[in-house]
Amino acid sequence: MEALKADDVWRRYGSQEVLKGLDLSLASGAFEALMGPSGCGKSTFLHLAAGLLAADRGAIEIGGVDVVGMRDAVAAKFRRRHVGVVFQAFNLLNEKSVEDNIALPLMLDGMRLSSPKVRGRVDALMGELGISALARKRPEELSGGEQQRVAIARALVAEPDIVLADEPTGNLDSASAKGICSLLRGVNRGGKTAILLVTHDPQVAACADRVHFLRDGRIAASIDARGDAARISQFYLETYR
Ligand code: ADP
Ligand code: MG
C-alpha cells in the first residue's frame, strides 16, 4: 500500500490555479523529495496531504485513508497518529517549553511527558537533534535553526507512517543541513516511515532516493538521483529555464 497517493489534485486561490491535476505517489517507506521554485505550490500540496487544507478536486490518500474528505477533528487525530508535519514556518507554541512542544502530539492523545515512554522518546530525539540543553527554553528564545530542530523532533515524536517536511533545512547552514539529512535517513532506514521532503536545495534533495519536480501545477518529471546533487541541479535548471 502507498504511504501517499495523490490523484488528479486541483487547488486554486481566488483566480490563481496553483495545483492543476497533480499526481504523486510514494510507496510505504519511500524517501522522496519535491522540488520547484518559490510559489509553485509545494507548501500548498503539503498542506493538502496533511489534511490541513481542502482540495478543490481530486483524491489524496495517506496509508489508504482518504484525507480530502476528512472532517477537521478526525483529520487532526489522524494526523497526530500517522503524519508528522514539519511546517515551513515551524508553528511552535511560544507559551510552551521546547520539550512540551516536542511531546505535544502525544500529549494531545492523552499521554504525559512524565511517563517514562514519552520522556524517553523526547529525550532521545532532543539528543539526536542536539537540542537537549534547550529543553526548558521557549521557542521565541531560540534561533531559527534551533526552532527548526524542535519542529523536526515534534514531527517525529509519534513515530508517524509518513513525514511531510516543508523546507526543513531552510534556516540551517550546510553542515547542519547535512545533519538533518542523515537524521531523516536514519528515521527512514527501518522502512516504516516514508518521507516527503520539500526543498529547493539540490544538496538536500540528494539525500532522498527520488526527486519530483513540480511545474505548472503538476509533477513535470521525476528522477532517481540519490547522492547526485549535480545531476539534480542540472535537471532543475532544465526543468525551470
Ligand atoms: P511554494 O511552497 O512552492 O513556495 P506555495 O504553495 O506556498 O508555494 O504557494 C503557491 C502559490 O499560491 C503562490 O503564488 C502563493 O502566493 C499562493 N498562495 C499560497 N497560499 C495562499 C493563500 N492562503 N492565499 C492566497 N494565495 C496563496
Ligand atoms: Mg513553501
Say which DSSP state 64 is in. T
Tell me the β-bridge partners of 166. 198
Domain membership of residue 45 as a residue range:
2-240
Say which DSSP state 43 is in. H
pLDDT of 120: 97
Chain CA centroid to CA 59, Å: 19
Q: Which of 234, 238, 217, 226 is nearest to 45 (CA)?
A: 217
Where are the alpha helices (H) located in 11-115, listed in sequence order?
42-49, 72-82, 98-107
CATH number at residue 146: 3.40.50.300
pLDDT of 76: 87
The pTM of the full predicted model, rounded to 2 decimals, is 0.94
User: Taking the CB of residue 91, how many other CB atoms lie within 10 A of it?
Assistant: 13
Report how far apart, in Å, the C-alpha atoms of 99 and of each of 50, 85, 109 are.
23, 17, 16
Chain CA centroid to CA 235, Å: 23
216 in Cβ contact with 36 (< 8 Å) = no
Mutating to test ligand 1, I would choose from 11, 16, 167 the residue with most ligand atoms within 8 A of its C-beta, which is: 16
- Report CA(239)–ligand 2 centroid distance (Å): 18
- Report CA(2)–ligand 1 centroid distance (Å): 27
Say yes or no: CB of residue 18 within 6 Å of ligand 1. yes
pLDDT of 89: 85
Q: How many domains does the chain have?
A: 1
- Report CA(221)–ligand 1 centroid distance (Å): 21
Chain CA centroid to CA 78, Å: 15
Q: What is the mean pLDDT of each run of 10 residues along the chain (241 residues)?
A: 96 98 97 96 96 94 90 86 91 96 94 95 94 97 92 94 93 84 88 93 95 98 96 96 89
Write the single-letter amino acid at 16. Answer: Q
Say yes or no: CB of residue 36 within 6 Å of ligand 1. yes
* Phi, psi (degrees; rounded to nearest 5) at 11: -155, 135
User: Taking the CB of residue 168, how many other CB atoms lie within 10 A of it?
Assistant: 28
Rounded-to-integer distance, Cα 148 and Cα 172, Å: 8
- Report CA(142)–ligand 2 centroid distance (Å): 22
pLDDT of 74: 87
